[in-house]
């Protein structure tokens, strides 16, 4: 661990606020504790309100410079950041594993997402297209164009401590925005390491401080101030539905924009026409990956009653073979939950499952002994429950998988959509009609719908986000870049007349 921290330039105590250089923060001391072994990885001196003001002032000033840099040139800077991340992929991925408990492959995979979105953004920097429209007035030209929006605030959660920032920051940068990042206090070191890598690129290219900024601090002094700040036109936030409701209300109160990525309660429908081997592998990764702490984690399996016994048998057999342990061990397939509070939440959910008529078919125990004495390791859990149970409508951020049976396909669709969340969804079937129905207007009501692949592992080329209580936001690919820019409709009169639209006459005698 010491070598990793040294290579990532994380010696001693770190400052929690910076814009390209670090300010001496005056807030409380935050300890980053690894859920893998309970050891302190490092310490961060948090920002207070004055530190926050310095960050925002510098970001606002840097925006005046950055917005005037041609978009392809901004893309070139993002390309260099992506190249630099490639050089640090193993160490930064290992730090993700240490700080939040992801297995090594997932930690490095998260850094690869940062690299991929940088590559995507480079191309997008030359494709910030506007439309040309035909004017109804003679000798007039009408078109739309897109301008940089301003400093963008990005609030991220512990489960994807760096990738979600990159999804936002790389696109915001090519759009001409500066970025102020408030990372999870459970993963401050990965944020600081990522920022240092990006800052080195900006400095080498002669850009001022403030294009990419970081502020780590408590909710009252930093979080609430950030979302209420009218100098920041966009807040992109990833987290719980409760958090999202509060942010949406606060940002709307000042007529700002919010881009929300909130809860997921993702289901896979398994029909009698499914390839069960394929379905089982997708379910396994979707339910157990990141120890069930992804917003796209598979939480519900809606399976036809005729194939439920066979699928259940295969899943239990596979779950018994999952190696749980140190996330840096190459053999490990599931690491710890983020902390003991998450473990307690899982245990309370299991109690509710039993009270609501469900049964635990496998797992759920808190592991003890040796490395497991941190109290953060659990066995992933498979439960059998009715679709009408209240807890099925909730998102428990833990590796709990519900098995729900259905008789008719229409029933499966109804069960699937009958939850408040609407992020990711999937169906396993070789029947064309079932697949197309799932993708139709009366099918999945989620922002992501997949056929014969699982709910987890979205590609950066598509817009990522969901409906209902998931918040409606879209990040990453497709035309998600538009959220970070302001649209302007322009009309040019190249005649010597002044006709009004809709045939209106306003002549003065």
Residues with a catalytic annotation lie at 261, 295
Q: Which of 313, 288, 457, 297 is nearest to 381 (CA)?
A: 288
Buried b / exposed e over 16-53, threshold 16 CB at 10 Å, is: bbbbbebbebebeebebbbbbbeeebbebbbbbeebbe
Angstrom distance (rounded) from CA 174 to CA 171: 5
Strand pairing of 140-148 and 132-133? antiparallel
As given in the structure block, the two tokens for residue 24 are 């001496």
DSSP character at residue 367: P
In 34-160, which ranges are continuous DSSP H helix?
49-66, 71-87, 89-100, 104-124
As given in the structure block, the two tokens for residue 40 are 């302190």
Q: How many CB atoms lie within 10 A of CB 65?
A: 13
Buried b / exposed e over 165-190, threshold 16 CB at 10 Å, is: bbbbbbbbbbbbbbbbbbbbbbbbbb
Angstrom distance (rounded) from CA 136 to CA 129: 22
Angstrom distance (rounded) from CA 114 to CA 97: 16
Angstrom distance (rounded) from CA 385 to CA 308: 13
Q: State the virtual CA torsion across 364, 370, 371, 374 in degrees, nearest 10.
A: 70
CA 263 to chain CA centroid, nearest Å: 10
Place of tokens 């893998």: 36
């Amino acid at each position: 661990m010491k070598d990793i921290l040294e290579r990532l330039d994380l010696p001693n105590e770190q400052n929690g606020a910076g814009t390209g250089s670090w300010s001496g923060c005056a807030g409380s001391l935050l300890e980053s504790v690894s859920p893998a072994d309970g050891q302190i990885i490092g310490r961060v001196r948090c920002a207070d309100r004055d530190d926050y003001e310095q960050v925002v002032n510098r970001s606002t000033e840097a925006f005046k410079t950055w917005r005037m840099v041609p978009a392809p040139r901004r893309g070139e800077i993002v390309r260099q950041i992506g190249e630099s991340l490639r050089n640090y992929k193993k160490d930064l991925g290992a730090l993700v594993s240490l700080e939040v408990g992801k297995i090594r492959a997932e930690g490095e995979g998260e850094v690869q997402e940062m690299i991929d979105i940088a590559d995507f953004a480079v191309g997008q920097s030359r494709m910030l297209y506007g439309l040309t429209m035909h004017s109804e007035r003679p000798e007039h030209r009408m078109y739309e164009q897109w301008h940089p929006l301003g400093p963008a605030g990005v609030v991220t959660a512990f489960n994807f401590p760096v990738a979600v920032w990159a999804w936002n920051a790389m696109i915001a940068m090519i759009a001409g925005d500066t970025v102020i990042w408030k990372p999870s206090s459970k993963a401050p070191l990965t944020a600081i390491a990522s920022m240092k890598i990006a800052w080195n690129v900006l400095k080498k290219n002669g850009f001022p401080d403030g294009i990419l900024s970081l502020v780590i601090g408590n909710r009252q002094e930093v979080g609430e101030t950030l979302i209420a700040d009218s100098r920041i036109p966009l807040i992109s936030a990833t987290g719980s539905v409760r958090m999202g409701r509060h942010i949406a209300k606060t940002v709307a109160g000042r007529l700002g924009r919010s881009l929300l990525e909130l809860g997921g309660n993702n289901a896979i429908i398994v029909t009698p026409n499914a390839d069960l081997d394929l379905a089982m592998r997708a379910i396994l990764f979707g339910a157990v990956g990141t120890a069930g702490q992804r917003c796209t984690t598979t939480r519900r399996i809606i399976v036809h009653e005729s194939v439920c016994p066979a699928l259940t048998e295969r899943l239990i057999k596979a779950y018994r073979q999952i190696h749980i342990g140190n996330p840096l061990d190459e053999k490990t397939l599931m690491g710890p939950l983020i902390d003991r509070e998450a473990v307690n939440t899982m245990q309370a959910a299991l109690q509710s499952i039993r009270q609501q008529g469900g049964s635990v078919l496998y797992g759920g125990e808190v592991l003890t002994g040796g490395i497991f004495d941190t109290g953060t390791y659990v066995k992933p859990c498979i439960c059998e429950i009715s679709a009408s149970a209240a807890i099925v409508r909730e998102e428990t951020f833990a590796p709990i998988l519900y098995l729900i049976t259905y008789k008719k396909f229409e029933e499966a669709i109804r069960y699937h959509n009958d939850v408040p969340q609407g992020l990711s969804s999937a169906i396993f079937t070789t029947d064309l009609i079932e697949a197309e129905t799932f993708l139709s207007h009366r099918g999945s009501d989620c922002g992501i719908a997949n056929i014969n692949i699982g709910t987890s592992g979205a590609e950066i080329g598509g817009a990522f986000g969901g409906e209902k209580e998931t918040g409606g936001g879209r990040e990453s690919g497709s035309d998600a870049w538009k959220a970070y820019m302001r649209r302007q409709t322009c009309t040019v009169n190249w005649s010597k007349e002044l006709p009004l639209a809709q045939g209106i006459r306003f002549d003065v005698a």
